[in-house]
Amino acid sequence: MSFVPEDQLKPKLGLNLAPMIDFVFLMLAFFASLTITKVTLKDAGISLVKVGATAEMAKQQEDKVEKVISISISKNGEYKWLTEYHELLIKDADQIGLELARQYEMGALPKEKEKTQVLLQIDREATWSPISQVIFSIRDQGFEVHPIYQPDFAN
Protein backbone atom coordinates (compact mmCIF):
# COMPACT_ATOMS: atom_id res chain seq x y z
CA MET A 1 0.00 0.00 0.00
CA SER A 2 1.40 3.38 -1.10
CA PHE A 3 0.52 6.84 0.15
CA VAL A 4 0.99 8.31 -3.36
CA PRO A 5 -1.56 7.21 -5.95
CA GLU A 6 -0.13 5.16 -8.80
CA ASP A 7 -1.37 7.52 -11.54
CA GLN A 8 0.80 10.30 -10.09
CA LEU A 9 3.87 8.08 -10.04
CA LYS A 10 3.62 7.31 -13.76
CA PRO A 11 5.49 9.74 -16.02
CA LYS A 12 3.22 12.03 -18.01
CA LEU A 13 3.38 11.31 -21.70
CA GLY A 14 1.30 14.31 -22.80
CA LEU A 15 2.10 18.02 -22.91
CA ASN A 16 -0.30 20.65 -21.61
CA LEU A 17 -0.60 23.18 -24.47
CA ALA A 18 -3.19 25.50 -22.90
CA PRO A 19 -0.69 28.09 -21.52
CA MET A 20 1.26 28.08 -24.79
CA ILE A 21 -1.90 28.66 -26.83
CA ASP A 22 -2.81 31.61 -24.59
CA PHE A 23 0.65 33.12 -25.08
CA VAL A 24 0.54 32.69 -28.86
CA PHE A 25 -2.94 34.26 -28.98
CA LEU A 26 -1.75 37.29 -26.98
CA MET A 27 1.27 37.73 -29.27
CA LEU A 28 -0.97 37.49 -32.33
CA ALA A 29 -3.36 40.11 -30.92
CA PHE A 30 -0.45 42.44 -30.06
CA PHE A 31 1.19 42.31 -33.48
CA ALA A 32 -2.15 42.55 -35.30
CA SER A 33 -3.08 45.73 -33.42
CA LEU A 34 0.43 47.15 -33.94
CA THR A 35 0.25 46.49 -37.68
CA ILE A 36 -3.21 48.01 -38.00
CA THR A 37 -2.08 51.14 -36.14
CA LYS A 38 0.97 51.60 -38.37
CA VAL A 39 -1.04 51.04 -41.55
CA THR A 40 -3.68 53.53 -40.40
CA LEU A 41 -1.04 56.22 -39.84
CA LYS A 42 0.59 55.58 -43.21
CA ASP A 43 -2.76 55.64 -45.04
CA ALA A 44 -3.78 58.91 -43.35
CA GLY A 45 -0.93 60.71 -45.14
CA ILE A 46 0.35 62.47 -42.01
CA SER A 47 3.66 62.44 -40.26
CA LEU A 48 3.53 62.76 -36.51
CA VAL A 49 5.33 65.56 -34.70
CA LYS A 50 8.35 64.57 -32.69
CA VAL A 51 8.50 66.94 -29.75
CA GLY A 52 11.66 67.80 -27.94
CA ALA A 53 15.27 66.96 -28.55
CA THR A 54 17.22 64.28 -26.81
CA ALA A 55 19.27 65.40 -23.85
CA GLU A 56 22.46 65.04 -25.88
CA MET A 57 21.15 67.21 -28.72
CA ALA A 58 19.92 69.87 -26.29
CA LYS A 59 23.35 69.96 -24.63
CA GLN A 60 25.10 70.34 -28.01
CA GLN A 61 22.81 73.21 -29.00
CA GLU A 62 23.34 74.88 -25.63
CA ASP A 63 27.12 74.72 -26.07
CA LYS A 64 26.90 76.44 -29.48
CA VAL A 65 24.98 79.51 -28.25
CA GLU A 66 27.07 82.51 -27.21
CA LYS A 67 24.53 85.34 -27.52
CA VAL A 68 20.77 85.31 -26.95
CA ILE A 69 18.52 88.05 -28.33
CA SER A 70 14.89 88.23 -27.18
CA ILE A 71 12.22 89.95 -29.24
CA SER A 72 8.57 90.09 -28.24
CA ILE A 73 5.51 90.65 -30.42
CA SER A 74 2.40 91.97 -28.68
CA LYS A 75 -1.16 91.21 -29.72
CA ASN A 76 -1.24 94.66 -31.38
CA GLY A 77 1.78 93.76 -33.53
CA GLU A 78 4.25 95.95 -31.61
CA TYR A 79 7.87 94.79 -31.43
CA LYS A 80 10.07 95.03 -28.34
CA TRP A 81 13.76 94.22 -28.16
CA LEU A 82 14.21 92.81 -24.66
CA THR A 83 17.57 93.36 -22.95
CA GLU A 84 18.69 92.64 -19.41
CA TYR A 85 17.64 96.11 -18.26
CA HIS A 86 15.32 97.65 -20.86
CA GLU A 87 12.50 96.97 -23.27
CA LEU A 88 13.20 98.90 -26.46
CA LEU A 89 10.12 99.60 -28.57
CA ILE A 90 10.88 99.08 -32.28
CA LYS A 91 8.76 100.51 -35.09
CA ASP A 92 8.80 97.72 -37.64
CA ALA A 93 10.34 94.37 -38.55
CA ASP A 94 12.85 95.88 -40.96
CA GLN A 95 14.35 97.92 -38.13
CA ILE A 96 14.95 94.67 -36.19
CA GLY A 97 16.84 93.25 -39.16
CA LEU A 98 18.88 96.44 -39.51
CA GLU A 99 19.73 96.44 -35.80
CA LEU A 100 20.89 92.82 -36.01
CA ALA A 101 23.09 93.71 -39.00
CA ARG A 102 24.49 96.77 -37.19
CA GLN A 103 25.36 94.78 -34.06
CA TYR A 104 26.93 92.05 -36.18
CA GLU A 105 29.10 94.58 -38.05
CA MET A 106 30.15 96.26 -34.76
CA GLY A 107 31.26 92.90 -33.36
CA ALA A 108 28.64 92.78 -30.60
CA LEU A 109 27.44 89.44 -32.01
CA PRO A 110 29.60 86.35 -32.66
CA LYS A 111 31.16 86.07 -36.14
CA GLU A 112 29.47 82.68 -36.64
CA LYS A 113 25.79 83.57 -36.89
CA GLU A 114 24.65 80.14 -35.68
CA LYS A 115 26.11 81.03 -32.27
CA THR A 116 23.51 83.80 -31.94
CA GLN A 117 20.07 82.64 -30.87
CA VAL A 118 17.15 84.97 -31.65
CA LEU A 119 14.13 84.14 -29.49
CA LEU A 120 10.64 85.32 -30.45
CA GLN A 121 8.11 85.69 -27.67
CA ILE A 122 4.79 85.89 -29.49
CA ASP A 123 1.48 86.82 -27.87
CA ARG A 124 -1.12 84.15 -28.59
CA GLU A 125 -3.52 86.76 -29.97
CA ALA A 126 -0.96 88.35 -32.31
CA THR A 127 -1.86 88.39 -35.99
CA TRP A 128 0.23 86.49 -38.50
CA SER A 129 1.42 89.49 -40.53
CA PRO A 130 3.85 91.03 -37.97
CA ILE A 131 5.09 87.56 -37.03
CA SER A 132 5.97 86.64 -40.61
CA GLN A 133 7.53 90.05 -41.26
CA VAL A 134 9.92 89.77 -38.33
CA ILE A 135 10.80 86.14 -39.14
CA PHE A 136 11.75 87.07 -42.71
CA SER A 137 13.60 90.19 -41.56
CA ILE A 138 15.73 88.17 -39.14
CA ARG A 139 16.37 85.37 -41.63
CA ASP A 140 17.39 87.90 -44.29
CA GLN A 141 20.30 88.81 -42.01
CA GLY A 142 21.33 85.13 -41.76
CA PHE A 143 20.10 84.39 -38.24
CA GLU A 144 17.82 81.56 -37.18
CA VAL A 145 14.57 82.36 -35.37
CA HIS A 146 13.38 80.30 -32.39
CA PRO A 147 9.76 80.93 -31.31
CA ILE A 148 9.13 80.55 -27.59
CA TYR A 149 5.95 78.78 -26.57
CA GLN A 150 4.34 77.34 -23.51
CA PRO A 151 3.19 73.75 -23.96
CA ASP A 152 -0.46 73.18 -23.13
CA PHE A 153 -0.68 69.87 -21.29
CA ALA A 154 -4.30 70.42 -20.23
CA ASN A 155 -5.69 69.42 -23.64
> Can you state the angle between helices 128-140 and 93-106, rounded to 10 degrees?
20
In the chain, % helix, strand, coil (3-state, to 5) comes to 45, 15, 35
Tell me the mean pLDDT in the region 94-103.
93
> Above 50 in pLDDT, residue 130?
yes
How far apart, in whole angstroms, are the C-alpha atoms of residue 96 and residue 132? 13
Looking at residue 32, its pLDDT comes to 82
Average pLDDT over residues 135-147: 92
Say if CB 111 and CB 80 are below 8 A apart. Answer: no
The whole-number pLDDT of residue 56 equals 61
**28-78 residue pLDDT tens:** 988 888 776 655 444 444 444 455 555 565 555 566 778 888 898 988 899
Which pTM was predicted?
0.58
Find the helix or strand (DSSP H, E) in which 19 lies: helix 18-44
Rg from Cα positions in the chain: 31
